[in-house]
């Protein structure tokens, strides 16, 4: 019962925040000089004022701002996100086409970060203040400070241009009629460099976080008890210390969706990865307001959904957390 009430409360909160986000995004995009009608007219080279006025009436841009806002809210809720005029396709369709590529990239980057970060962090904590810890900590500091594009460009130079091991752009270089397993291997090869580029920063974060969390957990009673019971060292480290130290990692991973989406703009642009990040970038440059709005909105929904999911997961992982 308590859980249900909690879920409902959090859902209500998320809906409220989403409402504010929609209003803010609407206002932000209406700060722009000129409107959609101007852009479309500019594209089709038709500066005839009568045509622009007619277009404006069709799009409802001649109505007062509050009315436009209400209409916008209605369209958002009914999932009518309009037409992306720069690409001549429905916003929904464009987003749906590009979302899987970004999801794949984000999941593999965060997967890499969690696995590598947890491993490195544990190793550093178990060897605290010795040379291995020093090396890992310095590496983490460096990864943390390196701009993503620099990582990406160095990777391209080393692995694509010099060694020619991996492709430097795109998501596949095979025709669609190739066997499925070949295409999977091909996509995986294309995925390596973007994943490393996007993930390295997060590897640094998780390494530092895991090291700190482990150092906090290791001296605790239950770890000492487990050790004195004669359990194998890896069992102690993994079951008794690691599980507790993982809690902050879960929270962190959830909070990172929004920064990953931002980072994917640079990575996808650099590697020509056909995802949401590059779509957003193209939309912004072409002043495609409906498409920009759609991508921003979808990203916000993603962020809210994941943070809700993390909160719920957290209550399962840590029974000490009270449901408020």
The binding site for other proteins (CB under 8 A) comprises: 13, 16-18, 20-21, 24-25, 28-29, 31-32, 141-142, 144-150, 153-154, 157, 161, 205, 209, 252, 258-259, 261-263, 265-266, 269, 280-281, 284-285, 287, 292, 295-296, 299-300, 303-304
The tokens describing 105, both together, are 């990239």
The least CB distance from residue 15 to other proteins, in Å, is: 11
The least CB distance from residue 175 to other proteins, in Å, is: 27
User: Of 59 and 288, which has the nearer Cβ to other proteins?
Assistant: 288
User: Of 156 and 237, which has the nearer Cβ to other proteins?
Assistant: 156
The least CB distance from residue 264 to other proteins, in Å, is: 9
User: Of 204 and 237, which has the nearer Cβ to other proteins?
Assistant: 204
User: Of 196 and 237, which has the nearer Cβ to other proteins?
Assistant: 196
The tokens describing 283, both together, are 């939309």
User: Of 26 and 226, which has the nearer Cβ to other proteins?
Assistant: 26
Q: Which residues fall within 8 angstroms of residue 272, CB to CB, at 6 or more apart?
A: 169, 170, 278
Contact 94, 290 (CB under 8 A): no
User: Of 308 and 323, which has the nearer Cβ to other proteins?
Assistant: 308
The least CB distance from residue 48 to other proteins, in Å, is: 26
The pairing of strands 83-84 and 89-90 is antiparallel
The least CB distance from residue 258 to other proteins, in Å, is: 4
The least CB distance from residue 265 to other proteins, in Å, is: 6
């Amino acid at each position: 019962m308590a859980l249900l009430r909690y879920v409902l409360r959090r859902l209500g909160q998320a809906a409220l925040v989403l409402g504010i986000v929609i209003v803010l995004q609407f206002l932000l995009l209406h700060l722009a000089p000129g409107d959609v009608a101007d852009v479309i007219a500019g594209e089709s080279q038709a500066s005839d004022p009568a045509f622009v006025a007619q277009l404006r009436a069709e799009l409802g841009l001649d109505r007062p701002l509050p009315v436009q806002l209400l209409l916008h809210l209605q369209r958002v809720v009914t999932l009518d996100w309009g037409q992306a005029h720069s690409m001549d396709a429905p916003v929904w369709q464009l987003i749906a086409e590009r979302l899987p590529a970004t999801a794949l990239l984000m999941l593999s980057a965060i997967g890499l970060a969690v696995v590598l970060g947890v491993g490195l962090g544990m190793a550093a904590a178990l060897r605290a203040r010795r040379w291995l810890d020093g090396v890992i900590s310095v590496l983490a500091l460096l990864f943390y400070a390196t701009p993503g594009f620099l990582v990406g460009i160095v990777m391209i130079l080393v692995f694509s241009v010099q060694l020619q091991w991996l492709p430097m752009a795109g998501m596949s270089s095979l025709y669609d009629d190739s066997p499925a397993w070949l295409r999977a291997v091909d996509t995986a090869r294309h995925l390596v460099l973007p994943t490393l580029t996007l993930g390295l920063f997060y590897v640094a974060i998780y390494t530092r976080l895991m090291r700190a969390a482990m150092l906090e957990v290791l001296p605790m009673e239950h770890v000492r008890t487990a050790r004195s019971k004669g359990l194998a060292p890896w069992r102690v480290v993994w079951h008794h210390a690691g599980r507790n130290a993982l809690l902050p990692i879960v929270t962190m991973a959830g909070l990172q969706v929004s920064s990953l989406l931002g980072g994917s703009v640079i990575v996808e642009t650099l590697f020509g990865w056909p995802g949401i990040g590059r779509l957003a970038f193209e939309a912004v440059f072409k002043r495609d307001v409906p498409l920009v709005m759609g991508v921003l909105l979808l990203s916000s929904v993603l962020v809210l959904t994941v943070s809700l999911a993390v909160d719920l997961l957290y209550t399962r992982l840590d029974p000490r957390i009270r449901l408020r």
